[in-house]
Every structure is written in structure tokens, then in C-alpha cells.
Amino acid sequence: MAKKISSFEKRRARVRSQLKTCATAPHRLSVYRSNTSLYAQVIDMTSGHVVASACSRDEEFKNNQAAPQKRSVNVASCKEVGVLLAKRALEKNVSKVYFDRSGYRYHGRVKSLAEGAREGGLLF
């Protein structure tokens, strides 16, 4: 009996296959989204090492927020995580990346992270 593949797994496979075939940038920006946090990493595709990372649990991110929130991740705070990640990546001389959304739909928190990274200076 064949196992049914979820739509998330189909999207993830499609994004990864596009990454392999048309990636011109040597780095990728990978996103992981949980219920309470958002994590983003810039990964060197040749060696597989993490160049820069940022998440909504970072001390630098928490100090920038004006009021503590019940839920640490919303659309506005994800944009700040994207700006923070872009700043850290530019310090390591990484300016061009491929956006790997890891099967998540491109809306809401994932979209605001991408917009924040673009505002911070990363090129997709």
C-alpha cells in the first residue's frame, strides 16, 4: 500500500528540486517555522556550513522589542528577524542568497521574513 504524500512534503520537494537546478547563488536562506518561534539560517551550499543565523529567541532580538508579547512571533517581529539575519550575513560578506522556504507557503510570517531580509540588503 502506497503512503500518501502530504501537500507540505510535495512543496518541500518542489522547492528543493528548483534549488538544485537553477541555483546561481552559492548560499541559501533556509527557514524553519514553529508555533512559538521562527528560525532562519544562511547556509553555504558547497560546504554545508552555516554562515549566519537568526531566530526570534535571540537576545539581540528580544532587546529590540518594545513590549513583551504572549507569542514571540508575529508578522512584524518576523520582519525584524529578517533584518537581523541580513545584517549578520552582510558582516560575513554574503549578499546574494537563494530563498529556501522549506515547504512553507509564501505568505504571513515567511513572507515578512523575506521582506525584512531584502530591506536589510540581501539579494534573492
Least confident of 17-26, 47-56, 104-113: 17-26
Render pLDDT for 34-93 as a digit per residue (tens, 0 to 9): 988 899 999 998 888 999 999 988 887 766 665 455 556 789 889 999 999 999 999 999
pLDDT of the residue at 3: 74
The pLDDT-based confidence of 26 (bands split at 50, 70, 90) is confident
**Helix orientation angle between 109-120 and 75-91, rounded to the nearest 10 degrees:** 40
**3-class secondary structure, 96:** strand
What's the pTM?
0.81
Q: Structural domains in the chain?
A: 7-120 (3.30.420.100)
pLDDT of the residue at 64: 65
pLDDT of the residue at 67: 45
Alpha helices in 4-56, H assignment, sequence order: 7-22
Among 39, 25, 122, residue whose Cα is nearest residue 83: 122
Cα within 13 Å of Cα(12), Cβ side: 10
For the chain, how many helices (H) and strands (E)? 4, 4
CB 124 within 8 A of CB 118: yes
Q: Which residue has the higher pLDDT, 56 or 115?
A: 115
CB contact burial 46-76 (16+ within 10 A = b; e otherwise): eeeeebbbbbbebeebeeeeeeeeeebbeee
The strand pair at 27-33 and 50-55 is best described as: unpaired
Q: Which residue has the higher pLDDT, 113 or 58?
A: 113
- pLDDT exceeds 70 at position 13: yes
